[in-house]
Amino acid sequence: MSREGIVDPAVLFIYGLVLTLVLFVDRDALSLALIGVPNAFVGFALGWRKYKVLIVLFFIGFVGLAINALLLTNVGPAVLVVGPLIVRAGAVNTFVTIGLRITGIAGVAFLFVSLVDPALTVRSLERELRLPKGVCFALAYALRLIDLMSKDLREVQGVRVLRGYRSVPITPSDIKSVLTPLLSVGYERALWVGIAAELRGFRLRKVRKEPLRIGWREAMVLILLALQIIIALAGMLGYLRLIVPYIPFTSSWFIGLFGVF
Amino acid sequence: MIEEHGDASLEAYVEEASYPSKRGAVKNSFFSASAGELTLIAGPSGSGKTTLLLAITGVLKHLLQGNVKGRVNLAGIDPLTEEGFNEVPRIVGAVMQDPDKQLAMPTPYDEVSFTLENLGVSDEGRVWSVLKEYGLEEHAFKPVEHLSGGQQRRLVIAAALAHDPDIVVLDEPTASLDPWGIKLLKENITRLLRRGKTVVVVEHKVRYFLNMTSRAYVIKDGVITAEYRRDKLLSGDTLRELLMTGIDALPPEAHVRDVRSREGGDEVAVSLNNLTCGYGDVVVLEDVSMELRAGEVGVLVGPNGSGKTTLLKCIAGLLEPVDGYVRVMGEDPRRAGVRPRGRLVFYVPQIPDYTFVSSSVEGELKEVSKKAGVAFGDLVDIAPWVKEALQRPPYRLSHGQRRWLALSVGVAYMPKALLLDEPTTGLDLRFMGELRRLLTKAIRAGTAVLIATHDPRLVAEVADRAFIVDCKRVREVSVIDALKYLEKPLHES
């Protein structure tokens, strides 16, 4: 008996890796939105059941992004005045661009971790993509660690409630006291899993090479990837606004929205 | 007197073995093991048993950058050399202590396949036969996080031995195993011995293996101090000597003689009424009704995965009942007015690290002092080693110390109900004594204690009432019957 994933993990890995790089280099808000928002929508929807807490923590992180944007790039014309706080175009621009970028990257990451099986991933990446076995094993174990850490987090939260602490961390000290046991258990797991893997012959593992499996699902994923690369290129070269002239989706659109408020 | 043996398939003389940060963890120790024989290395917690195993398999030197001086011969190879270490996986199947921390793959099927694939065997039939041999066939594609502690233990053993190695090394293999798991393990060891394999077991609960052991070594403070041959191993003098060293060598009957049940107070501390609990659509236990009085100690015994932990979590209010209700001192723990909730009911999980909130033992005790209203000085004085460990992170304490600290945190809250999940896993006789002392303190304060355990020592020594958890039901039995229930599988052929 064996299990097959929905899409070949190697193809999903290529999709995730290339899109992450594209989102990193893209600086155009419109193309970032066109790529990031659909991926985030699908990724968060697929990951919601298993990674609810991580997704909520991700959105809490936007508070930090807003503070950073206000502290470091609050320049240009004022778009919003709240008491002593003047929000300027630079801060809004930074918040929108970086927000869309990290949302897209997180979406792609959740899409990948929700659709692949760690055991199939290790085989697929080393056999089809010829990645070093150490890298594949580390990646596959990291995927598994997400589930394990979710379980650890639930246990830690339970005991915290009994001990009279908030189960959801808010302050830096809360976050530290939740993260410390998680990282401690995670570190021990990583250490002992490495030892166990070596004792079970990981260094002797011979990799059988196989061609990349491209079925219709994989082909669809690669076509989608190509389309998104074209959108990003068009955005970065300024063609996107010529192709889509009637969508005023830029940072100034957000600035205008702030202005209305 | 320790002798060298000419027919040994494993021989090790460790002049010195230590971790990079520590000197001389194991020194001047010799031991050997022969094909078709079970060799036992016994010693209390912290005596250097695991370090010795890591040293002789080459892990300490090659993976942990430790220092190992001496000579080791594993069926003709020297694991202390790079070339020899590369060959270790082919001839040795090694299982380390904590199963939860050794599982690399998401399902039992993948875990067993991983070993075979590493060694160039792509045989699906072999994977299934190994899973069947260890009673894991039905769970082949279940996420390993959903397996019970005992099932995980069986899985790491199955994965380590999937390639049929000549030398088998097991570090505390009975920890967290239920009696059926121990029986299965013993049967597997017997089969391995019949097939001429060399089996080395490192344990402090040696009683399970005494009747099948050919040779036993005792390690204390990092030095192998004694060797016993089969003919002397079961003598009263030897058992007494082992007990004096902190090794649990008592035969099962000894526990039954120890049973002294007490009557609890009049007040009902924990009451369950037609309780059904589970996860999502999966019902784990149904229609559970039981009571526990203040100052009473109840034990939950049953196979791995029968729902003991689920029941404890439900009582602690960490899981919502599917049906029925839980009351602790008449209150629903999920909606209790008592703050913190731990003053009403406290659950100490199987992994003690989950309990800690601070990055030093001192910080941990100060937090307990603040939340539970206990003087910091009283907490520090509770065990002799605490003062020396104040500045250390709780996560860097020994396994026994961590377990003890987590338990102390629970007791310090002086809850009305204290729920302990497998509190004796990996604890030697010395820490068992410390555990008893803590429990006595809680009981005197009127706390009702409910413990999920497979450990007959604990049942015999502390239980006032016993409950068997099996087939989604909970039924009360006498403490003697609970002990018989735990020992019966071990005597069945």
Reported as a single tens digit per residue, the pLDDT across B128-168 is: 999 998 889 999 988 888 887 778 888 998 999 999 999 99
Q: Of B231, B249, B267, which marks where a domain is finished?
A: B249
Q: How far apart are CA B315 and CA B452, in angstroms?
A: 12
Q: Are the C-beta atoms of B228 and B243 separated by less than 8 Å?
A: no
Nearest-CA distance A154 → chain B (Å): 9
**Better-predicted residue by pLDDT, B225 or A143:** B225
Q: How far apart are CA B15 and CA B38, in angstroms?
A: 24
Q: Which contacts of B443-446 are long-range, i.e. CB under 8 A and separated by 24 or more positions?
A: B443/B295, B443/B296, B443/B297, B444/B295, B445/B414, B446/B265, B446/B267, B446/B269, B446/B294, B446/B295, B446/B416
pLDDT digit string (tens) for A53-84?
Answer: 788 888 888 888 999 999 998 998 888 888 88
Sheet containing strand B345-348, edge to edge, reads B345-348, B417-421, B448-452, B297-301, B465-470, B473-477
Q: Which contacts of B77-84 are long-range, i.e. CB under 8 A and separated by 24 or more positions?
A: B84/B58
User: Of B59, B86, B101, which to mutate for an interface test with A (greatest number of A Cβ within 10 Å)?
Assistant: B101
Which ipTM value was assigned to this complex?
0.84
Give this prediction's pTM: 0.81
* Three-state secondary-structure class, residue A244: coil
Question: Whose CA is closest to A196, among B179, B69, B111?
Answer: B111
Q: Of B249, B281, B303, which marks where a domain is finished?
A: B249
Q: Are A201 and B90 a contacting pair at CB < 8 A?
A: yes
Token duo for residue A114? 């929700």
Exposure pattern of B441-479 as b/e (b: 16+ CB <10 Å)? ebbeebbbbbbbbbbbbbbbbbbbbbbbbeeeebeeeeb
374-433 in B: which are within 8 Å (CB) of A?
A: 393, 395, 409, 413
Instruction: Decide if B325 is inside a domain.
Output: yes
Same domain, A96 and A190: no
- H helices of B374-447, in order, are 376-380, 399-412, 429-444
Q: Are A199 and B94 a contacting pair at CB < 8 A?
A: yes
User: Of A123, A162, A192, A198, which to mutate for an interface test with B (greatest number of B Cβ within 10 Å)?
Assistant: A162
Same domain, B319 and B438: yes
At B260 the pLDDT is 57
Instruction: Decide if A1 is inside a domain.
Output: no
DSSP B143: -
How many domains is chain A partitioned into structurally? 2
Mean pLDDT of B461-488: 91
> Quick check: B159 contacting A, CB < 8 Å?
yes
At B1 the pLDDT is 42
Same domain, B274 and B370: yes
Token duo for residue B131? 């899973």
Instruction: Decide if B3 is inside a domain.
Output: no
Instruction: Decide if A124 is inside a domain.
Output: yes
Residue numbers of the domain that contains B339: 257-491
> Quick check: B303 contacting A, CB < 8 Å?
no
- pLDDT band at residue B404, thresholds of 50, 70 and 90? confident
The mean pLDDT value of chain B amounts to: 87
Q: How far apart are CA A205 and CA A212, in angstroms?
A: 20
Share in percent of chain A as helix, strand, coil (round to 5) = 75, 5, 20
Same domain, B467 and B334: yes
At A252 the pLDDT is 57
How would you classify the pairing of strands B92-95 and B167-171?
parallel
Q: Are B318 and A158 a contacting pair at CB < 8 A?
A: yes
- pLDDT band at residue B2, thresholds of 50, 70 and 90? very low
At A1 the pLDDT is 44
Residue B258 has pLDDT above 70, yes or no: no
Q: Are A184 and B347 a contacting pair at CB < 8 A?
A: no
Instruction: Decide if B2 is inside a domain.
Output: no
* Three-state secondary-structure class, residue B36: coil
Q: Of B183, B217, B249, which marks where a domain is finished?
A: B249
153-172 in A: which are within 8 Å (CB) of B?
A: 155-156, 158-165
Mean pLDDT of B386-395: 86
Same domain, A160 and A62: no
pLDDT digit string (tens) for A147-190?
Answer: 888 888 889 999 999 998 888 887 888 888 888 888 888 888 88
Selecting from A119, A195, A205 the residue whose C-beta is nearest the C-beta of B118 gives A205
Q: Are the C-beta atoms of B118 and A126 separated by less than 8 Å?
A: no
Q: Of A206, A230, A246, which marks where a domain is finished?
A: A206
**Cα→Cα distances A76→A101, B136, B164, Å:** 22, 65, 71
Token duo for residue A62? 């936007």
Residue B9 has pLDDT above 80, yes or no: yes
Mean pLDDT of B42-59: 88
Q: How far apart are CA A176 and CA B358, in angstroms?
A: 8
- H helices of A76-208, in order, are 89-115, 118-128, 133-163, 172-199
Sheet containing strand B223-229, edge to edge, reads B92-95, B167-171, B198-203, B38-42, B215-220, B223-229
Residue B276 has pLDDT above 90, yes or no: yes
- State percent of chain B over pLDDT 70: 94
Question: Whose CA is closest to B226, among B204, B206, B242, B248?
Answer: B242
Question: A201 to chain B: nearest residue by CA?
Answer: B89
Nearest-CA distance A113 → chain B (Å): 13
Rounding to the nearest 10 degrees, give the CA dihedral for residues A106, A108, A114, A119. Answer: -110
Instruction: Decide if B344 is inside a domain.
Output: yes
Helix axes B179-194, B149-161, angle to 10 degrees: 10
Token duo for residue B488? 């019966």
Residue B409 has pLDDT above 60, yes or no: yes
- H helices of B119-200, in order, are 124-133, 149-161, 179-194
Same domain, B277 and B179: no
Q: How far apart are CA B401 and CA B406, in angstroms?
A: 9
Q: Any idea what the CATH number is for the domain that residue B453 is in?
A: 3.40.50.300
> Quick check: B176 contacting A, CB < 8 Å?
no
At A98 the pLDDT is 93
**How many inter-chain contacts (A to B, CB under 8 Å) are there?**
157
Please state the φ and ψ torsions of residue A183, each to the nearest 5 degrees: -70, -35
Q: How far apart are CA A196 and CA B59, in angstroms?
A: 10
Instruction: Decide if A2 is inside a domain.
Output: no
Residue numbers of the domain that contains A143: 132-206
Same domain, B224 and B288: no
Same domain, B142 and B222: yes
Hey, how many other C-beta atoms are within 10 angstroms of the C-beta on B378?
A: 11
Same domain, B309 and B209: no
User: Of B90, B110, B366, B370, which to mutate for an interface test with A (greatest number of A Cβ within 10 Å)?
Assistant: B110
At B280 the pLDDT is 79
Q: Are A163 and B371 a contacting pair at CB < 8 A?
A: yes
User: Of A163, A180, A204, A210, which to mutate for an interface test with B (greatest number of B Cβ within 10 Å)?
Assistant: A163
Same domain, A46 and A171: no
- Could you read off the pLDDT tens digit of each residue along chain A, which spans 261 residues? 445 667 888 899 999 999 999 999 998 888 999 999 999 999 999 988 888 878 888 888 888 899 999 999 899 888 888 888 888 988 988 999 999 999 999 999 999 988 888 778 888 888 888 888 888 888 888 888 888 888 888 899 999 999 988 888 878 888 888 888 888 888 888 889 999 999 999 998 887 788 888 889 999 999 999 999 999 999 888 887 776 655 555 555 555 555 555
Mean pLDDT of B460-473: 91
At B129 the pLDDT is 93
Q: How far apart are CA B169 and CA A113, in angstroms?
A: 35
Nearest-CA distance A219 → chain B (Å): 28
The mean pLDDT value of chain A amounts to: 85
Mean pLDDT of B10-39: 88
At A5 the pLDDT is 67
Q: Are the C-beta atoms of B393 and B360 separated by less than 8 Å?
A: yes
Q: Are the C-beta atoms of B480 and B256 separated by less than 8 Å?
A: yes
Residue B176 has pLDDT above 70, yes or no: yes
Q: Are the C-beta atoms of B437 and B297 separated by less than 8 Å?
A: no
Mean pLDDT of B206-220: 89
Q: Are the C-beta atoms of B353 and A178 separated by less than 8 Å?
A: no
Same domain, B245 and B274: no
Q: Are B353 and A203 a contacting pair at CB < 8 A?
A: no
Q: Which amino acid is at A245?
A: P
Same domain, A165 and A96: no
Q: Of A206, A227, A246, which marks where a domain is finished?
A: A206
At B477 the pLDDT is 94
Same domain, A116 and A220: yes
How many domains is chain B partitioned into structurally? 2
At A2 the pLDDT is 46
DSSP B24: -
Q: How far apart are CA B404 and CA B383, in angstroms?
A: 9
Instruction: Decide if B405 is inside a domain.
Output: yes
